[in-house]
Amino acid sequence: MITFLPKEFFLFDSLTIFFFAVIGLICIPSAIFSIGYLREEALKKKLISWALLAAFILSMCFVVISGNLFSFLIFWELMSLTSYFLVVLDYKHEKSIRAGTIYLVMTHIGTACLMAAFFILYNYAGSFDYSAVKEAAFALPPNIRNIIFLLLFIGFATKAGVVPMHIWLPYAHPQAPSYVSSIMSGVMIKIAVYGMIRFFVMLLLPAPAWWGAVILVFGIISCLVGVIYALMDHDLKKLLAYHSVENIGIILLGVGAAIFFAARGVIPVAALAMCAALYHLVNHALFKGLLFLCSGSVYKATGLRNIEKMGGLIKTMPATALFFLIGAMGISALPPLNGFVSEWLTFQAFFSGAVESQGAVRIFMIVSAAALALTGGLAAACFVKAFGITFLALPRSAHAREAKETGFMMKTGMALLAVPVVIFGVGAGFIAPVILRVSRAVLGVQNVEVSLYLASVLPVLIAVVVLGTALAVFLWFRFGLRTGQVRYNTWDCGYYALDSRTEYTATAFSKPFRIAFSFFLLPYHKSEKMRDSFYHVSKFMYETHTTLVFRKFFYEPLVRLVYSFAWKVRKLQPGSIHLYILYIFITLVGLIALAAIF
Amino acid sequence: MLNTIMVIIGKVFALAIFAPLVSGIIRKTKNTIRMRNGPSVLQPYYNVRKLFLKDEVISKNASWIFYAAPVIVFAGSICALVLVLMARPGHLVSNSAAILIAAFFVLSLGRFFMALAGLDAGSSFGGMGSSREVFISSFAEPVAFIAIFVFCMGGGDNFRVSGVLAGFALFMVVIAETSRIPVDNQETHLELTMVHEAMVLEYSGRSLALIELASHIKQMVFFIMLSWCLFPAAGTAPWGWAVFSAEIGVIGIAMAFIEISVAKMRLFRTVDFLSFSFFIALAASIASSLGL
């Protein structure tokens, strides 16, 4: 009889059902989108893509319903590997291979941490089952609990793309086909958040307050760093990937605050914060999935990912533009769409947390709220850039000029995500209580009264007032005030030669931010003059770049260290068979000696 | 319930109608101090009327965003006014912070569309204006949120150190958000210094009229919030509406004095300006956590 095999294979509680809903909400539209996206591919590639996609989605489902550490780990690894193969699907590009390698290395560092934590837990619980783990967790020595927390946090944070473990995300997500990016960004990184909630809130009880504080601080760092990098990036998919880092940060703000206040015994605030986090989780899945699908649609139509070469697509691709606008409004937290409700709930959690506490905690909550406000402002700025440069004004290249609207299947996929973005905003009155119930169940506090304040009324009120006023103005313009309209050239100061080259660019748009955050971005410039003669410059090149701080000052030295160590180890392996026989002999003697001792 | 709704609708109309007058008073005050005659306080009304009666010129490059933006900006500022009126202090504490923050979100809805419209015509003026506008507002928003949090935690009905500090921080935010000197200048059309004006440069006729009205109303929204922070006790006084008008007038005249007594800053100095206000807001939150 093998004793370590778990007895509880599956688990169905509110949290798993919630995550099942999230997986279904995103994966079905993405799969429909993939039919259109892969239409011109060869049958073999289609089959491989869909088989991998199905395996990927299934493995995510199984991670969520696993009832024990063992199968959690197996399906977690399966999820990582299938998504790796989806990233390198386009294996002829060197970029894909590179992105895949970074992803594979980072995700396995995370998995290694998880494995270590799970084995420590197994050691104490004597079983892989969640119920045994939960029971054993109460009796764990504090330092062991903290080590387990740190290992699990590193493991999950790597998968979630929390700064500074985000390094793989802006490479892997853009390189995958768009329907996969939408699932990876929309759902897969949320599975890591599932892991955090499952272990820190539901299994390793009671969680001390500083765990929550750590998660909160990493959330703040992630959301600020993510959005600043997103502002600087002009590759449409990479920009969206950085926004995933930002939004994971926002979700962690809620999760961290929930753990923090649950530990301090302020249960209503904890439930509100958890509700905000879960709400933002499903919202981010919706609008990020939508935005990635839109970027795929733009990529199919133009073959471009650099927004500096796009422009004017709202005229040639009106449907894609509208869907992108809805997604952009959602992610910028504009009322009455869904991002507004969840960010506003997060503010509510911070505010009621600040009201309930004194001293340093109150200042901590207020500063967290300020960080969230700054993030929101910068995210809105970034999406003004992303939408404005991509879709508005004049096309900046021939590819953009000749773009055609995408096919029916792709439009259906996008529409299936765009409609919930609106519903989850305006219909918050129906959805917020359901999510609050999940959040209560997660915290195990079904009986505590939690006020959602005006979450159910406010979006509807705003929608009614804004749409009502807009309609009144529109009717007045149409029927009351009949002044004329003239279409003419854009005002050009009498220059008469405005074209797409005189438009504002994304680089110019983000320049104020580049200067304001220069202490972090460390921008540098390169300029080069090519001369015909001393007096005449024929060509002038000017480039501006920003330094990726974490990569340059942390990962690159680390990789160099690993390489130099590897070079040293290499001396052990000179290729002489005699030496290898000697190694075998020494090992054998060593083992016999060991066996003799024990 | 119905009664309250009718009262709020009535107040919204009254305040929206008087909003341009506040701008007129500020302009008149500035001119008086500079020993100029200047236009009458009713000039903003004449401007809006003139613009509503004119034909408009629309760029050939523009899309439907360009048509929609002024309407959304106007509707957004009306909605913000409604929300602010619902959040009178003295109500339940958490709710008023919630509603005031929602008002900021609604204003950012309008700003988002305005910034898109700035990019829509394909002129670099518009793009420059959009970029600068979102730049300034993204730094102003955190300060405003802290100030609102601190103010609402104080309860809002009596004088507190934290409330005054929050009011001071909010005042600096209002300078930035209503495009006033030293952050922006409403009266300039010089390309190096324009922010808000550059963004709306392509607009004319009735669309421009809507945008101007919207900025008057937005200014009113901010002045109402300021009046709560700076004169907390006045809300309960008899002759409420007279006291309230006096408060708004005082804030407007103070704004005019600030505008004529400082020079406009370079764009990148506004970061310093707003970080200073951030630290004042932080001081307010420290004061509030000490119970002051």
- Do residues A350 and A368 lie in contact, with contact meaning Cβ atoms separated by under 8 Å? yes
Q: pLDDT value at position A543?
A: 87
Give the one of B53, B122, B201 whose C-beta lies nearest to A503's C-beta.
Answer: B122
Within A303-456, residue ranges assigned H as helices are: 313-316, 318-331, 338-356, 359-391, 398-401, 408-426, 428-443
Q: Please report where in the chains the tokens 């109500």 appear, as a residue.
A: B91
Could B131 and A502 be called an inter-chain contact, meaning their C-beta atoms sit closer than 8 Å?
no
Per the CB < 8 A criterion, the answer to whether A167 and A551 are in contact is yes
Structure tokens at B74: 């106007």
| Tokens at A399, concatenated | 């590819």
DSSP string, A70-105: HHHHHHHHHHHHHHHHHHTTSTTSHHHHHHHHHHHH
Host domain of residue B142: 2-289
Contact criterion met (CB below 8 Å) for B121 and B66: yes
Among A323, A326, A314, A395, which Cα is nearest to B64's? Answer: A314
Residue A423 CB contacts under 8 Å (≥ 6 apart), including other chains = A338, A431
Q: Is A354 on the interface with B (CB under 8 A)?
A: yes
Contact A348 B94 (CB under 8 A): yes
Contact between residue B78 and residue B16 where contact means Cβ atoms under 8 Å apart: yes
What is the complex's ipTM, to 2 decimals? 0.95
- Cross-chain Cβ contact B122/A388 below 8 Å: no
pLDDT of residue A127: 87
Q: What is the DSSP string of A314-345?
A: HHH-HHHHHHHHHHHHHHTT-TTSHHHHHHHH
Q: B170 to chain A nearest CA, in Å?
A: 14
pLDDT of residue A1: 44
The pLDDT assigned to B238 comes to: 65
The CA–CA distances, whole Å, from A510 to A307, A507, A517, B38 equal: 13, 5, 11, 39
Predicted pLDDT of residue A41: 87
Nearest of A380, A299, A354 to residue B110 by alpha carbon: A380
Whether the CA torsion B100, B103, B107, B113 is positive or negative: it is positive
Phi, psi of A486 (to 5 degrees): -120, 135
Distance, CA of A12 to CA of B177 (rounded, Å): 50
How far is A133 from A109, CA to CA, in rounded Å?
Answer: 23
Tens digit of each residue's pLDDT (9 = 90 or more) over A257-285: 999 999 999 999 999 999 999 999 999 99
How much of chain B, in percent, has pLDDT values that exceed 70?
94
Chain A residues close to B99, C-beta within 8 Å? 454, 458
Q: How close, in Å, is residue B3 to chain A by CA atoms?
A: 17
Distance from CA of B229 to the nearest CA of A (A): 18
List pLDDT tens digits, range A44-57.
999 999 999 999 99
- Quick check: B156 pLDDT over 70? no
Tokens of A304: 């471009």
- Residue B206: which of A333, A453, A481 has the nearest Cβ? A481
Tokens found for residue B64: 């439907």
**Does residue B157 have a pLDDT over 80?**
no
Residue A401's CB is within 10 A of a number of other CB atoms, namely: 15
- pLDDT tens readout for residues B48-68: 999 999 999 999 989 999 999
Structure tokens at B48: 């809006």
Q: What are the C-alpha distances in Å from A537 to residues A449, A501, A502, A540, A544?
A: 73, 20, 21, 7, 20
Contacts of A515 in chain B (CB under 8 A): 268
| Residue B9: count of CB within 10 angstroms of its CB | 12
Neighbours of A543 (CB within 10 A): 10
Angle at which helix B93-120 crosses helix A338-356, to 10 degrees, equals 140
Q: Does A335 touch chain B (CB under 8 A)?
A: yes
Nearest residue of chain B to residue A395 (CA atoms): B122
Mean pLDDT of chain B: 89
Subunit contact B58:A488, Cβ cutoff 8 A: yes
8 Å CB contact between A6 and A68: yes
Best CA proximity match to B107, nearest among B143, B82, B132, B86: B82
pLDDT value of residue B256: 94
pLDDT bucket at B237, cuts 50 / 70 / 90: low
Size of interface A-B (CB pairs under 8 A): 254
What integer pLDDT is reported at residue A339 of this predicted model? 94
A370 CB neighbours in chain B (<8 A) are 142-143, 145-146, 278, 281
**Measured distance CA(A253)–CA(A277) in Å, rounded:** 7
Length of chain A: 598
Identify the DSSP state of A501: G
Mean pLDDT of B20-40: 93
Report CA torsion sign: A272, A277, A282, A286: positive
CB contact under 8 Å between B75 and A465, yes or no, is yes
CA distance B149 to A371: 14
Per the structure, the count of domains in chain B is 1
Residue A561: Cβ-neighbour burial (10 angstroms; 0-12, 13-18, 19+): exposed
* Per-position pLDDT tens, chain A of length 598: 455 667 778 888 899 999 999 999 999 999 999 999 999 889 999 999 999 999 999 999 999 999 899 999 999 999 999 999 999 988 788 888 999 999 999 999 999 999 999 999 998 988 889 988 999 988 899 899 999 999 999 999 999 999 889 999 999 999 999 999 999 999 999 999 999 999 999 998 888 999 999 999 999 999 999 999 999 999 999 999 999 999 999 999 999 999 999 999 999 999 999 999 999 999 999 999 999 999 999 999 999 899 999 989 999 999 999 999 999 999 999 988 999 999 999 999 999 899 888 889 999 999 999 999 999 999 999 999 999 999 998 999 999 998 899 989 999 999 999 999 999 999 998 999 999 999 999 998 887 777 776 777 889 999 999 999 999 999 999 888 878 889 988 888 887 778 888 889 999 999 999 999 999 999 998 998 888 888 888 888 888 889 899 989 999 999 999 999 999 988 888 888 999 999 999 999 999 999 988 7
